[in-house]
Amino acid sequence: MKAKKSRLKLKQVLEYLNDIPRINHGGCGVSALATYRWLEQNYGNRDIEIIYCYKYYNKDRYDNNEKALRLDKVNPSVPVHVVLKYKKFIFDSEGIVNSQFDSKSSFGAKWNFYHKVKDVKFLLRTINEGEDWNSDFRRDCKVINKIQKKLNIKINDVVALDE
């Protein structure tokens, strides 16, 4: 049975996610996954790109993920930030951050390195296996379940970090 399309608009999805305490301080991967799955369920996944962003001082994480994207045996490293590109817009739960991602754009200039991640499974691996997510965001069962219910999506493959 196919899931029903949401009555929510993308802006409402992002506003809801952004209202979750500290989502952009350790939960950007979960937010990106939830938004990806919502977009996929409502519009298909043809135009969705996942982008991992890094600063110069995270070059080691960038280099590791270059390997991890090619080799399943390498555990992914946590990027500094995860954003999505849908059609021509780049956004996180705070909303649209730019309509371009290159070194000339303000958003592209903010990051020294980035990857375009083609497989959402890699994002899920990063969320579940990455060891350096900022602990300010509480990734517990309660939050995961609320996101699933509100957005009418499944993200129960995210490992909750209940205390």
Per-residue pLDDT tens digits for 106-119: 666 778 899 999 99
Q: What is the pLDDT of residue 74?
A: 92
Q: What is the pLDDT of residue 107?
A: 64
Q: Note the residue count of the chain.
A: 163
Taking the alpha carbons of 128, 131, 133, 137 in that order, is the dihedral positive or negative?
positive
| Residue 73 burial (10 A CB sphere; 0-12, 13-18, 19+) | exposed
pTM as predicted: 0.90
In this model, does residue 71 exceed pLDDT 80? Answer: yes
Q: Is the dihedral of CA 124, 128, 129, 133 positive or negative?
A: positive
Q: Per-residue pLDDT tens for 77-114?
A: 999 999 999 988 888 888 877 655 555 556 667 788 99
Condensed to tens digits (0 to 9), the pLDDT of residues 38-67 reads 999 999 988 899 999 999 999 999 999 999
- Determine how β-strand 48-54 pairs with β-strand 113-117: antiparallel
State the chain's mean pLDDT as an integer. Answer: 89
